[in-house]
Chains A and B, each alone.
Chain A
Amino acid sequence: MSGAEEVTRIAPPADVGRRYADASGDHNPIHVDGAAARAVGLPGPILHGMWTLAQAANLVAEDPFRLEAITVEFRGIGLPGEPVEVTVRRDEDGGGATFAAAQGPRELLRNGRAALRP
């Protein structure tokens, strides 16, 4: 059983690729270097999937320390210049939520599921 869908639009902050790379240690150049991204067929630097997942985690768990587990599949590429729409559907018993994220027609996260502690 689950409640209504909540959709939140999040604009990635300026320089999100560099900031998340420095904060997480994920220095894959496709997230910060346009030339490196284009060299592997991407239109430009792309969002870290883990940054997008962190946005969903923030929305699912207002108190992050209630997070017990989270799982998700990464789909299409996220572009740092476009807002991300995160869709959350909470369990009626408050014990967790399902979630997904997209940029317009492009799926970024799917089959997201989080479990929350009481």
Chain B
Amino acid sequence: MAHIVGPSSGLANPLLLTEGDPTERRDRPRIVALMAADNTWVSTFAVTREGVSAFCAATGTTHPLCRDPDAARAAGFADVVAPPMFAAAYALGAVNALQHDPAAGIDAARAVHGAQSFRWASDERVVAGDVVETAARVGARTRRGTLELVEILTSSRVGERWVCDGRWTAAVRSEGPS
């Protein structure tokens, strides 16, 4: 379960946000700015074995590191390892907190999920027992016909270790009869 903490009034350890094409190959995120406390929504997500199992069962992910605690331990992990697409779960809390805060300026009732990108650290490995912290902010807003495309940018980490950036694009219909 995600526990919403944001919108934040001050992060003890500001997360690093990156910009650019998330599919561009590079090992390290380029640091754009230390995130200000303002206009940032954060969540923490406690990863559990049951949560990883449920996600793998729902999505059909069968890798032994994700499904078998003994295989994970044999590979040197403390418990099962979440598949990278589990970012859709561990980062969602911050996205939801942002989207449902009127201060972010996104009309959630008129929004659909238009596009998605993730980029993972080469040592992404999120393990049951980890706590993932995610920060979200609003990125570019562009108009396409009657839609406004609003990017929500997330950066997730476990402790001091960056694990994943996300770009969640909301497509928001213009005001008018729905």
Question: Chain A interface (Cβ within 8 Å of chain B)?
Answer: 10, 13, 16, 19-20, 22-26, 49-51, 53-55, 57-58, 63-65, 67-74, 113-115, 117
Contacts and interface: CB of A to CB of B under 8 A. Distances in A.
B116 A117 contact: no
A7 to B, nearest CB: 17
Contacts of A57: 83-85
Contact of B59 (A20, A65, A68, A72): A20
A-B residue pairs, 3 tightest by C-beta: A71-B117, A54-B59, A69-B23
A64 B23 contact: no
Given A20-B59, A64-B63, A64-B66, A54 B88 contact: yes
A80 to B, nearest CB: 12
Interface residues of B, number: 40
A55 B65 contact: no
A55 B61 CA distance: 8
A55 B59 contact: yes
Contacts of A115: 23, 25
Given A23-B51, A53-B85, A74-B114, A58 B120 contact: no
